[in-house]
Amino acid sequence: MALTGGKKAAVRKWTAVALTASMLVTMMPLAAYAGDTWPFKGESAHGSNQPSVHGYTSGQIANWSPATDPYAQKLRSKVPLQNRILPFASTQAKPTLSTNVKMMNVAGDYGNAFIENAPYTNKFAQYHFNFWQYIDYYSYWHGTASAYTPPEYYDNLAQSDWQQKWFEFGMLNIPNPTYTDAAHKNGVLSLAGVFFSNNDRGQQTYKQMIVKDGSGNFPVAQKMIEMAAYFGYDGYFMNQEELSPNVATADIPAYIEFLKVLQSGGLYVQWYDSLSTSTGANTFARTFNNNNISMLHDKVNHQAVTNSFFFDYGVGNTQITSASSYLASYNAANGTAYTIFDIGFAGLEAGRDRFSSAQGTALSSKLSSGLPRLSLATLGADFVHAGLDEDMGQSWPVSHRSENNYQWMTNVRDQLWWSGPNLNPKNTTVSAANTAADVYADNRYWPGIASVIAERSVIGSTNFYTNFNTGHGLSYYKDGAVSSNSEWSNMSLQDVPVTWQWWQDTTGNRLTVDYDYGTKYDFSATQRYQYEKLGGYKGGSSLVLNGNLNAENFLRLFKTDLSVNANSKLSITYNKPSANDASAAYIGLIFKDNPSQVVKVAIPNAGNKTNGWITQQLELGAYAGKSLAAFGLVVAPGSSAIAGYQLNVGQIRIFDGSAIKPAAPSGLAITEAFVDTGEMNIKWNMDTDYSKVKQYDIYINDVYVGGKYDEVFYIKALPSTAGTLKVVPIGADGLEGFAATLPFNLNAAASGISVNSQENGQLSVSWVNPPNAAGNTTVSLRSLNWIMTAQPIVAQQTAAAGATSVTFSNMPINGDDFLVTVTTGGGSSVSKSGHFIDKIAEPYSEQWSWNGNTLNLPMPNTRDWRYMYVYENGVAKSFPVTYISGSAGSFAKIIRGRTTKASLSFTSTAATVYIVMEDYAGNKSQPLYVRS
């Protein structure tokens, strides 16, 4: 929510020369075809100190600690996994669908970002998943560059061609924490992605992951358990697709033991069925059999290996019948009780086949009488956003999907994929003619996920609220007024989505229903929407109904299991900009004891035009003792049709007074203020009881700057350099608790901080004193993150009153990150991040070995390497890279992330062999002789 434009992160290492080349993020056969992601620009560009998610190699996992992992504290999800209410078929859009059928969604988050994948930022046009009610598991699919990959490697060539990415993707892609927040709010498990392939992870191989220590333990598995607990996600989607060489059959027992360790850590693990345990080949059974069952269950020791399988695409009736028969026999022979809906997920290639006839055929081949015969999984359903330009026939540098005025297309495409061809989960009949060509889709073949998956819900207890907030906006609204005029994205702020988009019961015209993001929301290119744009009441959006109201219309909103008591009430905040008319509006209640009846509770004077937002409170005590199974909004025209009818709903709250008004959080503090870039990090002591506090909202001088259920927050663009910082808890009934406040004044702090790190180990810090500065100035320095020194650097100096510089001696020259903080006498503390000058490269230090004339070189684990040179008799040896064949694909060095994994083991008869490492800054190490 910006005032200042961002810069590339100063705490990362920068390269002297930008490189170009390639790395594929899609693969066959697990291949989601969708558009690449390009860095945001202008005010939305990544902030100098903005947290971002990065990838991990096995070596980095083995050495992982949150104390040395960049931004780790700000990449955590604290929202606990919420329980879903019990199934109730009578309120389903399709009552015949069984909730035994589960759904896995393997897709990107925030548009599939490879570098600078921020948890929250000032960018509206990103992918925001809004259909949690149809899925049980979400695994994040795209890969992210390993930490300290210089952002400039993601140059124009790398962006224009997926085969031109010359940087390393980690084999582990942890979830974006805000997506985990949203998943957990909806009872969905959030899974990290593990991926090994022949092309896409360079020198990385499963062998590095399943290494045992001297005690026979798996350090990487133990750390993966620790990381899941720390970051707050629930398990792993394991995709093993290496070949040439294949997985060694001798390694498969250890691989199974590794997976069992993850199980012992309480994690959910889904296995992509891509491995023949008899040959180690990358093959796809698409059913259960004696070969692959060992990756699910250890029948000798009666232990779970994984929780379920993602079967490769092409699963049809023959394979499903075989799997069901095999499971029945296996259960009988081994005393297990597996059901195919719990452990078998048939894959659909969402990102490749999209809305095509092939997609419709692929789905129908998994059905019997219209019902799934096993659970389902999709890869790449974020194509609705990420693949927009491709579907428009556009290519780089066109990026309409990152432009705000194309987001209405993303919304419609998302609804077509999930709700079905009529944007109505009640009616999923495909269209005879394509009426979705305006959004570069086709609604003649794909019936939508809602046609085969029953909707779920977490809305129970006695309290519920929604602001119809989708997790992004073009402004942020507080009580119907603009609090921040900046665009934003933050999935942590997404409300539980409307259960049905859009199920309307009517004998007349279906109204247009949409999320209204305000006057800056540009849908001028379409005739689909004609409403007056009002924006949100609290958050970024409101729910809008408009059109020709010619019959009663019941818009079903939420599936629930809410207990009604004598104190229960419902408040609705709405805005009716259309003229006074004879229309009526009601809350439509469906109770569990009579689900065929819609009980209408009138909203008084709902036909009157409002002067802005109004709130009306309705009594529900008359229905005490009942269970509310669903509710929605009923609007009716009166005696004649009403053209141009519009009603915006900004908030609905159901409550009974049991929610406690949250106390003000203690310990509010500014941890770093980056005055020269307009950024700030803050912290407070959070209430860890999620039943009492749902999130914390943060304001500066009453301008909204973000929110999250957490105890730390990064502010990208300060709206003011002085005033009051305020953190407000939100209770279970949607109301604000008591605020914590903290005055600050950065105008009374130093500015213009400059740091000069020199090759002689001296580091000088200079600054500009504020007006009327008095007293000594304290300058502290500490190193950050993945340090290359034996211990973190911690130093401090005191400068006399009026001084404007200090110099530290004996500082590193290895490129480590640092944080400098300047505190003037009687003033505020301000900070600047950076990195020490980089004049050294670490030599190769892994446990190399010879087996005859075969040299085995374990993958370098140092964070700071770009090239690895192997000299035979003084001549640099050439190595092949992925995606380029023949002599054109060989280079006289091993290139991090691109040289094939087979290059780490080769035969040499040379008399002398030595290795030289080169880092991102162009420094070369001393040679390490492995034969002389």
Q: Are strands 367-368 and 371-372 parallel, antiparallel or unpaired?
A: antiparallel
Cβ-count burial of 927 within 10 angstroms (0-12 exposed, 13-18 middle, 19+ buried)?
middle
Q: Which two tokens stand for residue 497?
A: 């989505």
Mean pLDDT, to the nearest integer, of 852-874?
Answer: 95
Domains 749-835 and 849-931 share a fold: yes
Q: For the chain, what is the largest distance between any 2 Cα atoms, rounded to a whole number of angstroms?
A: 98
Residue pair 296/271 in contact (Cβ under 8 Å)? The answer is yes
Domain boundaries, the chain: 78-84+102-451, 464-655, 666-747, 749-835, 849-931
Using alpha carbons, list the distances in angstroms from residue 499 to 107, 465, 538, 585.
20, 14, 20, 20
Mean pLDDT, to the nearest integer, of 887-914?
Answer: 93
DSSP 888-908: GGEESSEETTTB-GGGGEEE-
Cα separation, 254 vs 165, whole angstroms: 32
pLDDT for position 157: 85
Provide the β-strand partners of residue 646: 546
Cα separation, 209 vs 437, whole angstroms: 46
pLDDT for position 34: 59
Q: What is the pLDDT of residues 747-756, one digit of tens each?
A: 999 999 999 9
- Does the pLDDT at position 540 exceed 50? yes
Cα separation, 554 vs 504, whole angstroms: 5
pLDDT for position 630: 98
CB atoms within 10 A of CB 706: 24
Nearest CA to 453 out of 188, 268, 631, 233 is that of: 188
Cα separation, 486 vs 518, whole angstroms: 12
pLDDT for position 396: 86
- Does the pLDDT at position 774 exceed 90? no
pLDDT for position 31: 58
Q: Which two tokens stand for residue 178?
A: 């805000």
Indicate the range of 19-23, 232-236, 571-575, 843-847 predicted with least confidence: 19-23
Q: At what angle do helices 219-231 and 252-264 cross, to 10 degrees?
A: 30
- Radius of gyration for the chain, computed over Cα atoms and rounded to the nearest angstrom: 29
pLDDT for position 825: 84
Cβ-count burial of 921 within 10 angstroms (0-12 exposed, 13-18 middle, 19+ buried)?
buried
Q: Which two tokens stand for residue 546?
A: 């408009």
Mean pLDDT, to the nearest integer, of 791-806?
Answer: 94
- Does the pLDDT at position 833 exceed 80? yes
Cα separation, 455 vs 449, whole angstroms: 10
- Does the pLDDT at position 761 exceed 90? yes
What integer best gives the mean pLDDT of the chain?
93
- Does the pLDDT at position 762 exceed 60? yes
Cα separation, 111 vs 608, whole angstroms: 42
Give the CATH class of 849-931.
mainly beta
Q: Are strands 879-880 and 913-918 parallel, antiparallel or unpaired?
A: unpaired
Question: CATH code for 666-747?
Answer: 2.60.40.10
- Does the pLDDT at position 807 exceed 90? yes
- Does the pLDDT at position 24 exceed 70? no
In the structure, what pLDDT confidence band is assigned to residue 142 with cuts at 50, 70 and 90?
A: confident
- Does the pLDDT at position 733 exceed 50? yes
In the structure, what pLDDT confidence band is assigned to residue 111 with cuts at 50, 70 and 90?
A: low
CB neighbour burial string for 214-247, b if at least 16 within 10 angstroms, e if fewer: eeeebbbbbbbbebbebbbbbbbbbbbbbeeebb
pLDDT for position 30: 61
In the structure, what pLDDT confidence band is assigned to residue 193 with cuts at 50, 70 and 90?
A: very high
Which CATH superfamily groups domain 749-835?
A: Immunoglobulins (2.60.40.10)
Q: What is the pLDDT of residues 42-65, one digit of tens each?
A: 999 999 999 999 999 999 999 999
Mean pLDDT, to the nearest integer, of 276-282?
Answer: 93
Cα separation, 322 vs 299, whole angstroms: 20
- Does the pLDDT at position 16 exceed 50? no
Mean pLDDT, to the nearest integer, of 550-562?
Answer: 98
- Does the pLDDT at position 248 exceed 90? yes
- The share of the chain scoring above pLDDT 70, in percent, equals 96
Cβ-count burial of 314 within 10 angstroms (0-12 exposed, 13-18 middle, 19+ buried)?
middle
Residue range 464-655 in CATH 2.60.120.260:
yes
CB neighbour burial string for 56-80, b if at least 16 within 10 angstroms, e if fewer: bbbbbbbbbeeebbbbbbbbbbbbe
Question: CATH code for 78-84+102-451?
Answer: 3.20.20.80
Cα separation, 114 vs 107, whole angstroms: 13
- Does the pLDDT at position 416 exceed 80? yes
- Helices within 339-477 (DSSP H only): 340-343, 350-353, 357-364, 383-386, 388-391, 407-418
Cα separation, 856 vs 870, whole angstroms: 12
